[in-house]
């Protein structure tokens, strides 16, 4: 899930760029922009950097365990063949 803080930053920068005559419509604009950004990000199925880093660590540990198991199997096969 995308960080709502980042969405708020984007919404604020867009609405702050609106001409002064549109200030009364700013709340509606913020709501519509927030909704559009959230929907777009959800469709993209993005993950946060934190989630990515956690999954990278899990994958690294899994690789290490797999390598250790492959080594054990090779040693056992070697003992069986002698």
- Residue 45, sorted as left (phi over 0), alpha (psi -120 to 50) or beta, turns out to be left
17-61 pLDDT, tens digit per residue, is 777 667 667 778 778 888 888 888 888 877 888 999 999 999 999
Domain segments of the chain as ranges: 1-46, 48-82
pLDDT value, residue 28: 80
For residue 15, pLDDT over 80 is answered with no
Q: What does the pLDDT average to over 68-77? A: 96
pLDDT value, residue 55: 96
- CB burial of 40-75 (b: ≥16 within 10 Å; e: otherwise) equals ebeeeeeeeeeeeeeeeeeeeeeeeeeeeeeeeeee
């Amino acid at each position: 899930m995308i960080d709502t803080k980042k969405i708020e930053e984007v919404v604020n920068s867009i609405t702050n760029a609106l001409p002064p005559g549109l200030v009364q419509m700013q709340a509606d604009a913020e709501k519509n922009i927030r909704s559009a950004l959230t929907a777009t990000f959800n469709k993209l199925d993005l993950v946060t950097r934190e989630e990515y880093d956690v999954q990278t660590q899990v994958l690294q540990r899994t690789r290490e365990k797999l390598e250790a198991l492959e080594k054990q199997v090779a040693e056992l096969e070697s003992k069986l063949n002698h």
